[in-house]
A and B are shown apart, each in its own frame.
Chain A
């Protein structure tokens, strides 16, 4: 059974040879190929080489296309801050005032800025790993995406104090979210991971999400022709889990490290997949044995119900993480699978 069969089998609730495992290692790949991060995230061939190195070193069950949101902020005129030790950040948004967003033309996924580089990398990864390892593409959700255009503070201020303008901005940006998602799928991504910050307990209360942003997710997801995973974006998401079943094409939810996996299963029901939730920040600081124990704890809480993929919780795993800590996750999943098989 290869990774593709393993993941697809898990998503469909069928028996698999072992529990699938994934870790977000976009920047880490650059470390493995000794390539600076600006090159990794600006050159499709460099990115693909970095992910091949990740596959060779660890053999995780999913391959990720460039997780680089600054490609989007740049496409709206923003400036990027590059670093040698982390994925790039938005240094300055493209526009200063929220109202200006409505005058901006929407980026073309195939022409604007570095967006074509992301698509090119996606195509190359799909060619390399088609039906061997599933290719996932990560993109920001439609309700958090305006923060990449005007900055988080401006966006939060608009949401909270100018509801009409906020709605107009959401309506203006939503077609780009849809076109970008469909472009990633057309380039060969098998599944989209959508990080919707407004669904996180740390960002917005449930009532606000349910009333103002869930309808947008409902409308836009229906226009995207592929499977989707909703991601917690670094916080907790259990408080909203019962709202998600029924979203078009949703196959799973990535939950935060402070979310209780058993509770997550109860809230989301038996048919959707759960992904997570080993604490990201633990990876560089703790021992391999501890990461193994944390991974085992996740597995024991979530794997018995099926429809589960063990993964880190959060964005890129810090570059200072020792390789043995990543292998500890794989060992925990493999040992669990052997244990289960021995009982049959």
Chain B
């Protein structure tokens, strides 16, 4: 079986929320002789991209997306031994729910997908003050802060983080990604809170972060 066919089967397992079936499938893939790196690149990644498309079509639920993120995590752990250096590390990023926001599920799913995609993720949790997010980003040399909020009232707290990044002169070096249910319902809110970009779902986070990283690199190295 070629990787494309394995990837389609993995996607089916994700859609059916079949974590056990997905794990068995990945075992079979590895037994067949496909290298772990190729499993990630040619089987997991394309399945995630397709998953994102289905989310865009509003045919996927949070439950299915949650299982998919767990499958992605399982696959990653299966293919990359613990404590090994991930050759695909894309860089450090900091994520957290902004001050007063306690809706963690979406943020954690984003963290899982970003980790699966090769990012070094520093997840600061819920109700994180703007200062803490920026300080951590500076400390770990992150080029992106991902701020999550589910509700409009808490999303507006991201404006403080935008202001802080600008006031301290990091606007070029540190990009601000914003996300959460409210941004899907009101896309204009991204600009209103000063976000540099958003993704409609956790699956799209990697693509967004890649774009923002490239923008940061262009601005730091003209």
Give chain A's interface residues, CB within 8 Å of chain B: 81, 83, 85-86, 89-91, 151-153, 156-157, 159-161, 201-205, 208, 234, 236, 279, 281, 284-285, 318-319
Do A160 and B63 have beta carbons less than 8 Å apart?
yes
Of the listed stretches B35-43, B147-155, B166-174, B209-217, chain A binds B147-155
| Residue in contact with B154 in the complex, picked from A86, A153, A160, A284, CB distance below 8 Å | A86
Do A91 and B127 have beta carbons less than 8 Å apart?
yes
Distance in Å from the Cβ of A40 to the closest Cβ of chain B? 15
Complexed CA–CA distance, A325 and B70 (Å): 43
B67 CB within 8 Å of chain A: yes
Complexed CA–CA distance, A156 and B108 (Å): 13
Question: Could you give 18 example pairs across A and B, Cβ below 8 Å?
Answer: A83-B153, A85-B153, A86-B151, A89-B103, A153-B104, A153-B105, A157-B66, A161-B70, A202-B62, A203-B62, A205-B17, A205-B64, A208-B17, A208-B61, A208-B63, A279-B185, A281-B152, A281-B185
Interface string of B119-156 (1 = CB under 8 A from A): 00000001100000000000000000000000111100
A-B contacts, CB under 8 A, total: 70
B100 CB within 8 Å of chain A: yes
| Residue in contact with B62 in the complex, picked from A86, A204, A318, CB distance below 8 Å | A204
Task: Write out the residue numbers on chain A whose beta carbons fall within 8 Å of the beta carbon of B182.
Answer: 281
Do B61 and A202 have beta carbons less than 8 Å apart?
yes
| Residue in contact with B102 in the complex, picked from A90, A281, A319, CB distance below 8 Å | A90
Task: Write out the residue numbers on chain A whose beta carbons fall within 8 Å of the beta carbon of B153.
Answer: 83, 85-86, 318-319
Complexed CA–CA distance, A91 and B126 (Å): 9
Known: A83-B153, A284-B152. A160 touches B61 (CB 8 A): no
Do A152 and B103 have beta carbons less than 8 Å apart?
yes
Do A152 and B105 have beta carbons less than 8 Å apart?
yes
B5 CB within 8 Å of chain A: no
**Nearest CB to that of A156 among chain B residues?**
B66
Interface string of B52-64 (1 = CB under 8 A from A): 0000001001111
Do B188 and A91 have beta carbons less than 8 Å apart?
no
| Residue in contact with B63 in the complex, picked from A203, A236, A284, A318, CB distance below 8 Å | A203
| Residue in contact with A161 in the complex, picked from B19, B61, B152, CB distance below 8 Å | B19
Do B127 and A205 have beta carbons less than 8 Å apart?
no
Task: Write out the residue numbers on chain B whose beta carbons fall within 8 Å of the beta carbon of A319.
Answer: 153
B88 CB within 8 Å of chain A: no
In the complex, besides A89-B103, A156-B66, A161-B19, 12 extra interface pairs with C-beta distance below 8 angstroms are: A81-B127, A152-B104, A153-B104, A156-B105, A160-B63, A160-B67, A202-B61, A202-B62, A204-B61, A208-B61, A281-B185, A281-B186
Distance in Å from the Cβ of A269 to the closest Cβ of chain B? 24
Complexed CA–CA distance, A203 and B185 (Å): 15
Distance in Å from the Cβ of A290 to the closest Cβ of chain B? 13
Distance in Å from the Cβ of A168 to the closest Cβ of chain B? 19
Distance in Å from the Cβ of B105 to the closest Cβ of chain A? 5
Known: A81-B127, A85-B153, A160-B19. A201 touches B63 (CB 8 A): no
Complexed CA–CA distance, A81 and B103 (Å): 12
Task: Write out the residue numbers on chain A whose beta carbons fall within 8 Å of the beta carbon of B181.
Answer: 202, 234
Known: A152-B105, A160-B19. A285 touches B61 (CB 8 A): no
Complexed CA–CA distance, A333 and B126 (Å): 41
Task: Write out the residue numbers on chain A whose beta carbons fall within 8 Å of the beta carbon of B154.
Answer: 86
Known: A201-B58, A202-B62, A203-B61. A89 touches B185 (CB 8 A): no
Complexed CA–CA distance, A163 and B76 (Å): 25
Known: A202-B61, A318-B153. A83 touches B17 (CB 8 A): no
Complexed CA–CA distance, A236 and B61 (Å): 11
Complexed CA–CA distance, A203 and B67 (Å): 12
Task: Write out the residue numbers on chain A whose beta carbons fall within 8 Å of the beta carbon of B101.
Answer: 89
Do B62 and A83 have beta carbons less than 8 Å apart?
no
Interface string of B90-127 (1 = CB under 8 A from A): 00000000001111110010000000000000000011
Complexed CA–CA distance, A159 and B64 (Å): 11
Complexed CA–CA distance, A49 and B64 (Å): 44
Complexed CA–CA distance, A201 and B70 (Å): 20
Task: Write out the residue numbers on chain A whose beta carbons fall within 8 Å of the beta carbon of B62.
Answer: 156, 202-204
Distance in Å from the Cβ of B179 to the closest Cβ of chain A? 15
Task: Write out the residue numbers on chain A whose beta carbons fall within 8 Å of the beta carbon of B100.
Answer: 81, 83, 86, 89
Task: Write out the residue numbers on chain B whose beta carbons fall within 8 Å of the beta carbon of A153.
Answer: 104-105, 108
Complexed CA–CA distance, A101 and B62 (Å): 23
Do A81 and B102 have beta carbons less than 8 Å apart?
yes
Task: Write out the residue numbers on chain B whose beta carbons fall within 8 Å of the beta carbon of A151.
Answer: 104
Do A285 and B63 have beta carbons less than 8 Å apart?
no
Task: Write out the residue numbers on chain B whose beta carbons fall within 8 Å of the beta carbon of A85.
Answer: 153
Complexed CA–CA distance, A156 and B66 (Å): 8
Known: A83-B153, A153-B105. A205 touches B61 (CB 8 A): yes
Do B61 and A201 have beta carbons less than 8 Å apart?
yes
